[in-house]
Amino acid sequence: MKYSQNIGKLMHKLLSELFPINRSITGKGVRDTLSIISREIPIKTTKIKSKSKVFDWTIPDEWNVTEAKICTSSGEVVVDFLDNNLYLMSYSTSVDSSMSLSDLKKHIITDKSRPNWVPYSTSYYEDNWAFCLPYNFVKKLNDDNYQVKIEATKKSGHLEYAEAFINNNAKKEILISSYICHPSMANDSLSGVVLSVQLFKEISKLKNLNYNYRFLFAPETIGTISFLYNNKKTIKKSIEFGLVATCIGDKGKFTYKKTRNGICNIDRVINHIFNGRNDCNPILDFSPLGSDERQYCSPGFDLPVGVLTRSIFGKFKEYHTSADNLEFVKDEYLKVSLDLYLEIVKIYEANCIFYRKEPHCEPQMGKYDLYRTIGGGGEDNINELSQQRMWILNYADNETDLLEISQKSGFDVLTLKHASEALVENKLIFKKI
Ligand code: ZN
């Protein structure tokens, strides 16, 4: 693909800027994140008031935190949220008291299976507080009277999400969905955000597109539910397909999880592309466990939305821990992921069905200056462009799309599309609308 080799570096730089922000499903972290995104691409932010009902859900109060510390009885700080925002369970309530180690441990979350890493934990809908700490660190804590201080507020405010839109005056749109609610984790959440930002920039440069493009940056689950709620009357008609973009910056092979229907055109396009590569895992069927596809593919919407990741969420050992960090995500992986998303867009845009007004026998190609005029010889003597045109003409049957012709002929979709142009100009084939 022809664009700067530095793109991976730029994506990683943006990711590094977003990484330290203490994000949650509401609050300053979300606003700071959207403010940085808005510097990169134009976005429109939507706010929903706390306590609003969105389907079966209620928007929670806004959570903000200024301090979270554990100190020993002699005043030594042993845990400080400012060092790593994962130390504090998201939506923790305020505390200011001293307690024994055994009482403190009732509010400490560890992960014994990943003993040196900080686990990620949340309690959005239940008042509670906790520190999330490496198992091996907690094991070494001395018996002491600890001073615990969390200064946090839960107040009426807003939940916010943002959309970036590329208007190509099309009837339908393609949705790229990423989420902005995870604190300092790089692959889960943020890799999808920086991929979306860069994809917006790249798609904006493309001409003659058949679809509009919408990029959603929303807190996972509750933000996406809010977006769907606000668009419930129109979204089913407007979405051509969607992809949830996350976990796209690690070294793992690509993973595609199909739409609920499983036989949508996006499923076919990605299957086609994956078949031609050696860096892809077997394609997964839809399941109602995962990320925002749970909402997009709920039965009332049943949108053609799949998930395209590298190592899929929950299946890499760094997942939801402090090890999902800036070293885990690399420039080159982000760039190859961006290339793949762009390839999907280009192939989806190119794919179409043709028909012929005179489908009986082949046209006399020499008449149109589209074919060698000297007959004879075998397939080898027919140049590739002529071969491609013969495939297209034969399957211009108002049913077979370029994707299928590509699979039958071995010529790639973009090459076939290019070969079709002269046939369209000479009115030998017509695009089915
Ligand atoms: Zn997650």
pLDDT given for residue 1 in this prediction: 46
Measured distance CA(62)–CA(49) in Å, rounded: 9
pLDDT given for residue 2 in this prediction: 45
DSSP assignment, residue 40?
H
Give distance in angstroms: CA of 413 to centre of ligand 1: 35
Give distance in angstroms: CA of 183 to centre of ligand 1: 10
Which H helix or E strand runs over 193? Answer: helix 191-204
Measured distance CA(83)–CA(104) in Å, rounded: 20
Cβ count within 10 A of residue 167: 9
Torsion of CA 5, 11, 12, 18, to 10 degrees: 170
Give distance in angstroms: CA of 45 to centre of ligand 1: 22
pLDDT given for residue 383 in this prediction: 86
pTM greater than 0.85 (yes/no): yes
pLDDT given for residue 378 in this prediction: 57
Give distance in angstroms: CA of 189 to centre of ligand 1: 7
Give distance in angstroms: CA of 25 to centre of ligand 1: 12
Q: Tens of pLDDT along the chain (433 residues)?
A: 445 669 999 999 999 999 999 999 999 999 999 999 999 999 999 999 999 999 999 999 999 999 999 999 999 999 999 999 999 999 999 999 999 999 999 999 999 999 999 999 999 999 999 999 999 999 999 999 999 999 999 999 999 999 999 999 999 999 999 999 999 999 999 999 999 999 999 999 999 999 999 999 999 999 999 999 999 999 999 999 999 999 999 999 999 999 999 999 999 999 999 999 999 999 999 999 999 999 999 999 999 999 999 999 999 999 999 999 999 999 999 999 999 999 999 999 999 999 999 999 999 988 898 865 455 555 555 688 999 999 999 999 999 999 999 999 999 999 999 999 999 999 999 999 8
208 in Cβ contact with 140 (< 8 Å):
no
Give distance in angstroms: CA of 212 to centre of ligand 1: 28
Helix (H, G, I), strand (E, B) or coil at 141: coil
Give distance in angstroms: CA of 220 to centre of ligand 1: 8
Measured distance CA(46)–CA(372) in Å, rounded: 59
Kindly list the strands in the beta sheet with 397-401, ordered across the sheet, starting from the edge strand earlier in the chain: 397-401, 353-355, 430-431
pLDDT given for residue 5 in this prediction: 63
Choose among 280, 295, 429: nearest CA to 356.
429
Which H helix or E strand runs over 203? Answer: helix 191-204
Give distance in angstroms: CA of 230 to centre of ligand 1: 24
Ion ligand 1: residue ranges with CB closer than 5 A: 188
pLDDT given for residue 198 in this prediction: 98
pLDDT given for residue 372 in this prediction: 57
Give distance in angstroms: CA of 243 to centre of ligand 1: 16
Give me the domains of the chain, ranges plus CATH numbers. Answer: 5-57+158-350 (3.40.630.10), 62-155 (3.50.30.90), 353-431 (1.10.10.10)
Give distance in angstroms: CA of 289 to centre of ligand 1: 12
